[in-house]
Amino acid sequence: MSVEKTYAEINTKIKAGKAIVVTAEELITLVEEKGLTKAAQEVDVVTTGTFAPMCSSGAFLSFGHTKPRMKMQKVWLNGVAAYTGIAAVDAYIGATEMHEDDPLNSNYPGEFRYGGGHVIADLVARKPVKLKALAYGTDCYPRRNLETTITLDDINEAILFNPRNAYQNYNCAVNLTDCTIYTYMGMIKPHMGNANYSTAGQLSPLLKDPHFKTIGVGTKIFLGGGIGYVAWNGTQHFPSMIDVEGKELGSAGGTLAVTGDLKQMNPRWLVGTSYLGYGATLSVGIGIPIPILNEEIARYAAKKDEELFAPVVDYGEAYPSFTPGNLGYVSYADLKSGKITVNGKEISTAPLSSMPRAREIAATLKGWIQKGEFQLTEPVKTLPSPADGFTAHSIKED
């Protein structure tokens, strides 16, 4: 018999402490033991998790007014510029902005030791952060200079707002050229000397809801160790199902914009991150609950590493030149085994996305829901799905 549940029914069970909650990996085992129909009937919520570098992250900070008042025009936090073209004492610190004095790639490959992601991590760790601001002065905002030290607790608001996180799937990076390259996928040795990938596979949130049946605007999530929400689709949200010769190999292209109060987040789940020769960013922990409303949702939530695939892409030549195509697909089961075969060559693999941390997130979220502390939210708006067929355009140049 098919199963149909509503958000209200599931939340009633959560409040009563009676909801059956499992992690996405536990669901896989359950489906193998009992079959899909039985598992879908039994389970109310599946939790997912991912912890990885997520560019397109940042935080809105509202510092509070100075005396006399100041309309900040340029702002630096620990020497990292924040964008303040928003309002008098509001700024946005972006994860990939570098320290003003960073040598960048002038001594290639650069180390990129401290950037906006590190500032956010320092703030959430309650470390003192140096705030410097300049202004041109107005009649209502006369002050022109400010240098002080702030902490996260001193400022009025700090709102993490990440325009593109939780990439549904990602490339497995190799290098076909003769030289070592330094990329946002790590150091890649020549002649396919190694392969790096960056997805939690069978625990990864958007791989478990490829048609965006449950994850939408307003979905309450685990974000940076606290509570967050899906704000919108992420930028570059072009979801699709991977179809190779009529065989479905999982999904790709979906992203989320997420937001939450930085003050209730935790430094374990927001970590400043540097990539040799590339730049700095922020590693973010995200966990999303998937309500098992019916069997179809359970079927996708139970997809395992053997059924989920990543495209292998040459970052030596094809990626930088924006040449379409790939070198084939490999399953997450193969990627996690440590060896893949591409063009007949066996290559060792390494992840950039932490599976132990992804598991910890899924387990933490499961605990919150089981204890009745975390209820599910029905999306107030669904996100574009593969059926909408949105595709990316490149920049039109004159």
Active site residues: 140
Shortest Cβ 39–other proteins spacing (Å):
21
Region near other proteins per CB under 8 A, out of 12-20, 88-96, 292-300, 353-361? 353-361
Q: Which is nearer to other proteins, 28 or 40 (CB)?
A: 28
Query: Can you point out the beta strands (E) in 205-351?
Result: 220-223, 226-233, 240-244, 247-252, 256-261, 270-275, 279-287, 289-291, 309-314, 329-331, 339-342, 345-351
Q: Which is nearer to other proteins, 146 or 350 (CB)?
A: 350
Please tell me whether residue 353 binds other proteins under the rule CB under 8 A: yes
Q: Which is nearer to other proteins, 64 or 338 (CB)?
A: 338
- 181 vs 189: CA distance, rounded Å: 7
Shortest Cβ 282–other proteins spacing (Å):
11
Q: How many residues bind other proteins (CB under 8 A)?
A: 32
Which one of residues 324, 325, 344, 356 is an interface residue with other proteins (CB under 8 A)?
A: 356
Fill in the amino acid letter for 300: Y
Please tell me whether residue 23 binds other proteins under the rule CB under 8 A: no
The distance of Cα 16 from the centroid of its chain, to the nearest Å, equals: 32
- 249 vs 169: CA distance, rounded Å: 11
Q: Which is nearer to other proteins, 80 or 131 (CB)?
A: 80
Region near other proteins per CB under 8 A, out of 250-258, 275-283, 292-300, 306-314? 275-283
Q: What 3-state class would DSSP assign to 18?
A: coil
Please tell me whether residue 354 binds other proteins under the rule CB under 8 A: yes
> How would DSSP label each residue in 59-82?
EEEE----SS-B--SEEEETTEEE
Please tell me whether residue 287 binds other proteins under the rule CB under 8 A: no
Please tell me whether residue 64 binds other proteins under the rule CB under 8 A: no
Backbone phi, psi, residue 242, to 5°: -85, 115
Backbone phi, psi, residue 35, to 5°: 90, 160
Binding mask 172-201 for other proteins (x = CB under 8 A): --------------xx-x----xxx-----
Please classify residue 67 by burial: count the beta carbons closer than 10 Å to its beta carbon, then call 0-12 exposed, 13-18 middle and 19+ buried.
exposed
8 Å CB contact between 237 and 384: yes
Contact residues for other proteins (CB under 8 A)? 51-53, 109, 111, 113, 186-187, 189, 194-196, 271-276, 283, 336-338, 348-357
